[in-house]
Structure 1
Amino acid sequence: MRGLTRYDLLGVTIVARATHLKALALLPTFALVGLTVACGSGGNGSGGTQPSGGAPAAQEIPAATKDAALAAMVPADIAGDGKIIVGQDQTYPPNEFVDSTGKVVGFDVDLGNAIGQKLGLTMEYQNADFSGILAGLAASKYELAMSSFTVNAEREQTVDMVTYYSAGTSLGVLKGNPENLSPDTLCGKNLAVQKGTVQVDDATARSEACTKAGKPAINIQQFQAQTDVNLQLTTKRSDAMLADSPVVDYAVKQTDGAVEVVGKPYDTAPYGIALKKGAGQFPQAVQGAVQALINDGTYAKIIAKWNLNAAGAIQKSEVNPAV
């Protein structure tokens, strides 16, 4: 759950993180795989056969059929050029990441493309730091933001949000949990999180509880990219990491079990597609497209392709739900 301003995790892009190339030779094999492929099941977590780039080679999603009524609801200033500009932090596999071939892939990308097809438009994804995406949306740099944003009341005050999946926060540790950690025993430990995510708030609150109880504070290590968070754990510079449940699950698979999930996800909440307020019927058009994809089975196929937990699937998409 990429919380208030967004609270998220996992997936490294060599193209986007060129400054990290020098360190590659020093990383263990499974860490290198996490960098080049992002993170995934036995490779990418898709549950299907995949190329070396980390995106599934099988289970391709058929193109969705345009819905003329929904397409007519898209404002002319957005639809006029035939595309929707999407703000996205592409360091968060399996939801959105760049594979080793340089292609943008992931659950959000497949679902976003299907939404665009329903609206008769092409989705153009632009990479950005997570913490700056909503500001870019407000400044009309993007026409839509789809990057595992957790829906919350604070966010709904500034943008409209269309729900499309439900995820929680998970604690990731090294295989065997050598420190015997749980979300409630992190006092004095090094904890890696992505900047701007709900996990930062979670870790901060937990650290404050530690000090109030007379225990050492949590050393919260914040990184701009989720892939850096993952590497921090796999190279043993952090004792644990907090991230969205699909991201930690994907890290487990991508590292062949070098990362382990502790317990069950908590603080479950919906993901939302963010749209600028005052955009006419655009939110309703996007919500209608998501619902149509749920109804015709495309949504379920995309979830299965990326091996996401089916328990997070929603039956009804909403605009600005009460949270």
Structure 2
Amino acid sequence: MTAGITRRPTSMRSRTAAAGAIAVAGALLLTGCGDQTKNDAGNGGDGNPASGSANAAPLADRLPADIRAKGVLRVGSDIAYAPVEFKDDKGDVVGIDPDIAEALGKQLGVKFEFQNATFDTLITGLASNRYDIAMSAMTDTKERQEGVDADTGKKVGDGVDFVDYFTAGVSLYTNKGDDQGIKTWDDLCGKTMAVQRNTFSHDLAKEQAKKCTEDGKGELKIEDFPTNPEAETRMRSKGANVVSADFPIAAYSVKNAGDGAYFEIVGDQVEAGPYGIAVAKDKTELRDALQAAVQAIIDNGEYQKIVDKWGVADGAITEVKINGGS
């Protein structure tokens, strides 16, 4: 499945931007979330960094000394967002982000340890030093860079820096065979949307709801949930007409949920924006090390293998930017 990207005629920005078919083989999305989940990203298979060890890793000396000493990078992530990060049928953390993290671990000589949390707590987790980085299909935006609440425009934190590593777009999807005439976001007026809380799909929905009201075309009701699978469950039970999520996630659900029998994508993707690895503003050394590592795996071909594996090559980047979102 391939979808084009349509620019919204408003100031909206999506959680993501890129297309490409999601030809993904693998387990269905599992929705359970524990308190903390660890994976072996960066391991050589025996619980140690192995090929990612400080002695072998070409960029180990770029990391802050305290992280080199620990040999671990704590990664905050919402591990319920297949195919970007999710648990397989063995309970292991898998997906695009864990694979990229494993490749980065080889460059930096550390293990990336994924810790599960809801998406809306990840930036505060960075601020409280619960995590070293957040890597969770998070769109790099000016609001997040500056610590500004997207709804109120008020300063709510110090903000974060982003190391951009992928792009993707936002899609709408419905129960299969029941698209209710939805082709564009303007068709959502008078409907009910289920969406993951505090994502840019959520922001887009709130912008569209305001537009529907101003145009007198009927209320767009929004039901928000901690995770995307919960939003999908609400739609499956007929409590909502439509779900919005990043295109890779929507396409994965369409392909895999009910062996392809549950959902269908409607219309084109909208907006464009990069995924970024979020780092606290005062951790510039770590930020720059990550930028160098992402560029290294792009240059050595490991990155391309990963995006090809997950069928998301159209979202690949060639140059790693810091705070490239707008």
Paired position in structure 2 for 1:95: 84
* Equivalence for 1:168: 169
TM-score by length of 2: 0.79
5+ residue gaps, structure 1, are 9-40, 55-60
TM-score of the pair, normalised by structure 1: 0.79
Match of 2:138 in 1: 149
CA distance in 1: counterparts of 2:179 and 2:57, whole angstroms: 56
Cα distance in 2 between the residues matched to 1:62 and 1:291 = 20
Identity of aligned residues (%): 37
Deviates more, 1:167-176 or 1:240-249: 167-176
Determine helix, strand or coil for the equivalent of 2:106.
helix
Number of residues of Structure 1 aligned to a counterpart in Structure 2 = 276
Residue 146 of structure 1 aligns to which amino acid in structure 2? M
* Worse-superposed segment, 148-157 or 229-238: 229-238
Out of 302, 314, 318, the residue aligned to residue 315 of structure 1 is 318
Q: What secondary structure sits across from 1:162 in the alignment?
A: strand
The residue that corresponds to 1:296 in the other structure is 300
Distance in structure 2 (CA, Å) of the matches to 1:51 and 1:260: 19
Alignment of 1:108-187 (within 5 A): 108-157=97-146, 158-182=159-183, 183-187=185-189
Residue of structure 1 equivalent to 2:156: none
Distance in structure 2 (CA, Å) of the matches to 1:51 and 1:214: 43
Alpha-carbon contact 1:53-1:101 (below 8 Å) kept: no
Structure 2 CA distance, aligned partners of 1:273 and 1:288? 13
Deviations 1:22-51 (CA, angstroms, capped at 9, x unpaired) = xxxxxxxxxxxxxxxxxxx9xxx6644x46
- Letter in structure 2 aligned against 1:197: T
Q: Does the aligned pair in 1 maintain the 2:62–2:289 contact within 8 Å?
A: yes
In structure 1, how many angstroms separate the alpha carbons of the residues matched to 2:325 and 2:211?
Answer: 28
1:193-208 mapped onto 2 (5 Å cutoff): 193-208=195-210
1:81 corresponds to 2:83 = no
Q: Relative to 1, partners in 2 of residues 1:90 and 1:299: Cα closer, same or farther, differing over 3 Å?
A: same
**What's the C-alpha RMSD, in Å, of the aligned pairs?**
2.4
SS of alignment partner, residue 184 of structure 1: helix
Q: Which residue of 1 aligns with 2:270?
A: 266
Alignment of 1:27-42 (within 5 A): none
Q: Are the equivalent residues in 1 in contact too, given 2:52–2:105 (CA < 8 A)?
A: no
1:12: which partner in 2?
Answer: none
CA gap 1:53/1:222 in 2 versus in 1, 3 angstroms:
closer
Residue of structure 2 equivalent to 1:105: 94
